[in-house]
């Protein structure tokens, strides 16, 4: 009884970590621009598929493959920002968000063209026997996923709250005019935010692929779950996305295990709807803070 | 020090600034006076690089800044306190000041930045009391002081101030203008001060320009402008002495 519960819990925490990373990706760009980048899920897919490409197809050493994958994701984001967001010259957020949807569709097409429709995977980072806790089996890769997520979250928290570059990035979304006037290169900051969030997404993709496989069209679902995680915590708030992501992951896993696996994806949407309905500022966000941000 | 030569600025088809020339000499306070919509903010935004003039040239010291990016203009030594302060509302007072020093924030500059934050706190003690408070929760006058402090953190040679007394109680407005005169003395700043309230601006200014629908109408020393009949009628109220 308890064993089964623990099993569901651990698998929920694992997927939940990736939702948290996707949610963080949303937050990063939102923190610099107030844009919601709906191509966020595609960067996770890029992470998984490119990692497979460099590792299994090019036979590169593990760390080099990781580095190349993360850099490539950053490069794709740079091109995306330069080609589609920057030339827009509009302040209409809705238009910019629609553009990210279009980019996501194009990216999915290219990924299918290159990789086809089948799922990909590669070996776990480390070999070894799984841990057994209370009868439940935990793959070592699960620990990697949790550890990597935790590290990313802490690093991003430190970046946005303790470094001047991180604060400057946030300042760009609060007040781009004032940011320019204190000498912050706003458009370069926006570009960095896209690169950073793509890299975080790719890291999530690399970590999760050995457990849950990766295929070209996983992006939209990941984006929905990650967005839900970010909304749950209140957009732009790091801690919130983590708690949101883990909660959604665990609830999904419990629903699939105890009720029916077909209901799994409905969980996130239900949560999203109830948040939008009852607490639009998120469970942790507060409305007063939202007002100061002016949106 | 700052020179504008035959500057034309458009918003689409709207001709907001028409062949404006003006100059501000080093160490002076120059007032730019005009009614709503005259183009005062447009002019300041263009000096700071937020807009591009259609024609004309803007120079600062020996540099041509006409087409420079805003961040490079800050580096040259021009800081602006924009209309309505534009503080970073969801951030603390202290973070606002830190960001003011963004262009010089290398690791080696940390002690000098700390020192400058303390100097801003000495100038505006109320900011020290509220350094952890979110800037958006400050009163209008306090936000204005924070915006001035933030601009000073860049260690500018020249300050552009866009209606620093807008919406403030007369007593606070006077305090802020007195503070600006004091800062000029203390730091050797050069100041271009935009105001609708001509009398209080000219009280601390050395000279001034009057802008009307995008054109310079009159220019002269502060005393000349205060004595000018047109200026009196339009900007000082009928009961001007
Ligand atoms: N972004 C813009 N797009 C189009 N027109 C603009 C824009 N900004 C200002 N204008 C127009 O340019 C003219 C000058 O505006 P500006 O804001 O410079 O006036 P101002 O002198 O600062 O007025 P105020 O004292 O009310 O601040 C106005 O007619 C205004 O409508
Ligand atoms: Mg104005």
Q: Which two three-digit tokens encode residue B12? A: 């689409």
Rounded-to-integer distance, Cα A5 and Cα A201, Å: 29
- Per-residue pLDDT tens over the stretch A51-88: 999 999 999 999 999 999 999 999 999 999 999 988 88
Q: Is the pLDDT of residue B1 over 50?
A: yes
Distance (angstroms) between ligand 1 centre and the Cα of A216 equals 49
Chain A touched by B150 (CB under 8 Å):
yes
CB B69 within 8 A of CB B19: no
A164, A182, A186, A235, best to mutate vs chain B, most B CBs in 10 Å: A182
A177, A178, A189, A295, best to mutate vs chain B, most B CBs in 10 Å: A178
CB atoms within 10 A of CB A283: 17
- Closest partner residue to B102 among A174, A183, A294, by Cβ? A183
Rounded-to-integer distance, Cα B115 and Cα B101, Å: 12
**Strand partners for B134:** B92
Q: Which two three-digit tokens encode residue B235? A: 């900007």
Strand, helix or coil at B194? strand
Decide which of B150 and B175 is more confident: B150
Q: Which of B59, B53, B79 lies closest to B1, judged by CA?
A: B59
DSSP state of B14: E
Q: Which two three-digit tokens encode residue B105? A: 């924030």
Give pLDDT, residue B216: 93
Q: Which of B175, B90, B75 lies closest to B125, judged by CA?
A: B175
CB B24 within 8 A of CB B47: no
Mean pLDDT of chain B: 92
Give pLDDT, residue B238: 47
Instruction: Give CA separation, A99 vs A44, A104, B174, in Å.
Output: 19, 9, 49
- Give me the residue spans of the domains in chain A: 2-293
Ligand 1 atom closest to B83 (CA): 27
In a domain, B70, yes or no: yes
Q: Which of A288, A244, A139, A36 lies closest to B137, judged by CA?
A: A288
Q: Is the pLDDT of residue A287 over 80?
A: no
- Per-residue pLDDT tens over the stretch A196-241: 999 999 999 999 999 989 999 999 999 999 998 988 877 777 778 8
- Tell me the pairing of strands B78-81 and B158-162: parallel
Mutate to test the pocket of ligand 1, among B15, B16, B17, B198 (most ligand atoms within 8 A of CB): B16
For B138, counting Cβ atoms within 10 Å of its Cβ (0-12 exposed, 13-18 middle, 19+ buried), the class is buried
State what percent of residues in chain B have pLDDT above 70: 98
Rounded-to-integer distance, Cα B151 and Cα B78, Å: 9
CB A180 within 8 A of CB B50: yes
In a domain, B201, yes or no: yes
Residue B222, domain extent? 2-86+155-236
**Contact check, Cβ <8 Å, B100/A182:** yes
Ligand 1 and B167: CB distance under 6 A: no
Distance (angstroms) between ligand 2 centre and the Cα of B67 equals 22
**Contact check, Cβ <8 Å, A167/B95:** yes
Q: Minimal Cα–Cα distance from A174 to chain B, Å?
A: 6
- Range A2-293 classified under CATH 1.10.3470: yes
Distance (angstroms) between ligand 2 centre and the Cα of B217 equals 17
Mutate to test the pocket of ligand 1, among B14, B51, B52 (most ligand atoms within 8 A of CB): B14
The per-residue DSSP string of chain A comes to -HHHHHHHHHHHHHHHHHHHHHHHHHHHHHHHHS---TTHHHHHHHHHHHHHIIIIIS---HHHHHHHHHHHHHHHHHHHIIIIIGGG----HHHHHHHHHHHHHHHHHHHHHHH-SS-B----SS-SPPEEETTEEE-HHHHHHHHHHHHHHHHHHHHHHHSHHHHHHHHHHH-HHHHHHTT--HHHHHHHHHHHHHHHHHHHHHHHHHHH-B-TT-HHHHHHHHHHHHHHH-TT-HHHHHHHHHHHHHHHHHIIIII-GGGHHHHHHHHHHHHHHH-TT-SS--HHHHHHHT-
Rounded-to-integer distance, Cα B216 and Cα B33, Å: 10
ipTM of the complex: 0.93
Decide which of B58 and A129 is more confident: B58
Rounded-to-integer distance, Cα B77 and Cα B94, Å: 22
CB atoms within 10 A of CB A230: 29
Q: Which two three-digit tokens encode residue B8? A: 């034309």
Mean pLDDT of chain A: 89
- Per-residue pLDDT tens over the stretch B69-79: 999 999 999 99
- Per-residue pLDDT tens over the stretch A91-145: 788 888 899 999 999 999 999 999 999 999 999 999 988 888 888 888 899 999 9
- Per-residue pLDDT tens over the stretch B60-71: 999 999 999 999
In a domain, B38, yes or no: yes
**Contact check, Cβ <8 Å, B100/A164:** no
Ligand 1 and B36: CB distance under 6 A: yes
Predicted confidence band of residue A283 (pLDDT cuts 50, 70, 90): low
- Closest partner residue to A182 among B49, B99, B137, by Cβ? B99
CB A46 within 8 A of CB A73: yes
- Which residue of B lies nearest to A31 if distances are taken between CA atoms? B90
**Contact check, Cβ <8 Å, A183/B82:** no
Q: Which of A202, A192, A194 lies closest to A165, judged by CA?
A: A192
Q: Minimal Cα–Cα distance from A130 to chain B, Å?
A: 45
- Which residue of A lies nearest to B48 if distances are taken between CA atoms? A181
Q: Which two three-digit tokens encode residue A293? A: 């941000």
The CATH number that applies at residue B11 is: 3.40.50.300
* Domains in chain B, number: 1
Give pLDDT, residue A241: 87
Secondary structure of B30-85 as H, E, C letters: EEEEECCCCCHHHHHHHHCCCCCCCEEEEEECCEECCCCCHHHHHHHCEEEECCCC
Give pLDDT, residue B241: 42
- Which residue of A lies nearest to B156 if distances are taken between CA atoms? A182
Chain A touched by B70 (CB under 8 Å):
yes
């Amino acid at each position: 009884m308890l064993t089964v519960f623990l099993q569901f819990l651990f698998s929920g925490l694992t997927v939940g970590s990736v939702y948290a990373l996707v949610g963080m990706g949303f937050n990063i760009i939102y923190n610099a621009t107030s844009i919601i980048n709906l191509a966020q899920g595609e960067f996770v897919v890029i992470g998984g598929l490119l990692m497979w490409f460099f590792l299994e197809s090019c036979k590169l050493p593990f760390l080099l493959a990781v580095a190349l994958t993360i850099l490539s994701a950053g490069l794709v984001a740079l091109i995306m920002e330069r080609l589609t967001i920057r030339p827009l010259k509009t302040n209409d957020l809705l238009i910019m968000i629609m553009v990210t949807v279009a980019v996501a569709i194009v990216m999915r097409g290219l990924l299918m063209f290159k990789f086809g429709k089948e799922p990909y995977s590669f070996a776990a980072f480390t070999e070894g026997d799984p841990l057994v806790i209370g009868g439940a089996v935990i793959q070592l890769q699960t620990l990697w996923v949790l550890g990597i997520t935790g590290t990313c979250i802490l690093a991003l928290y430190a970046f946005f709250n303790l470094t001047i570059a991180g604060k400057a990035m946030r300042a760009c979304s609060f007040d781009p005019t004032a940011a320019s006037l204190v000498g912050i290169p706003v458009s370069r900051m926006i570009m960095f935010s896209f690169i950073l969030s793509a890299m975080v997404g790719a890291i999530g993709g690399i970590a999760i692929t050995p457990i849950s496989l990766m295929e070209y069209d996983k992006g939209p679902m990941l984006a929905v779950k990650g967005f839900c995680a970010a909304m749950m915590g209140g957009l732009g708030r790091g801690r919130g996305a983590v708690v949101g992501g883990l909660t959604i992951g665990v609830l999904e896993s419990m629903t699939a295990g105890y009720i029916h696996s077909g209901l799994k994806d409905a969980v996130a949407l239900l949560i999203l709807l109830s948040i939008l309905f009852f607490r639009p500022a998120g469970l942790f966000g507060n409305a007063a803070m939202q007002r100061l941000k002016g949106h | 020090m700052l020179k504008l030569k035959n500057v034309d600025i458009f918003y689409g088809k709207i001709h907001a600034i028409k062949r404006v020339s003006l100059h501000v000499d080093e160490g002076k306070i120059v007032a730019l006076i005009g009614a709503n919509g005259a183009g005062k903010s447009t002019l300041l935004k263009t000096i700071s690089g937020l807009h591009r003039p259609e024609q004309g040239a803007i120079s600062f010291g020996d540099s041509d800044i006409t087409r420079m990016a805003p961040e490079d203009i800050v580096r040259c030594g021009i800081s602006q306190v924009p209309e309505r302060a534009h503080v970073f509302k969801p951030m603390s007072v202290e973070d606002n000041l830190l960001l003011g020093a963004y262009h010089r924030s290398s690791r080696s500059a940390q002690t000098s930045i700390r020192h400058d934050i303390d100097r801003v706190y000495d100038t505006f003690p109320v900011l020290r009391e509220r350094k952890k408070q979110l800037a958006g929760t400050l009163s209008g006058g306090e936000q204005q002081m924070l915006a001035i402090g933030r601009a000073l953190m860049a260690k500018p040679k020249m300050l552009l101030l866009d209606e620093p007394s807008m919406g403030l109680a007369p007593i606070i407005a006077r305090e802020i203008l007195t503070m600006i005169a004091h800062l000029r003395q203390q730091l050797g700043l050069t100041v271009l001060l935009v105001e609708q309230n001509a009398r209080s601006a000219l009280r601390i200014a050395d000279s001034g320009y009057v802008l009307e629908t995008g054109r310079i109408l009159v220019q002269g020393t502060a005393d000349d402008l205060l004595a000018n009949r047109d200026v009196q009628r339009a900007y000082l109220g009928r009961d001007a002495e």
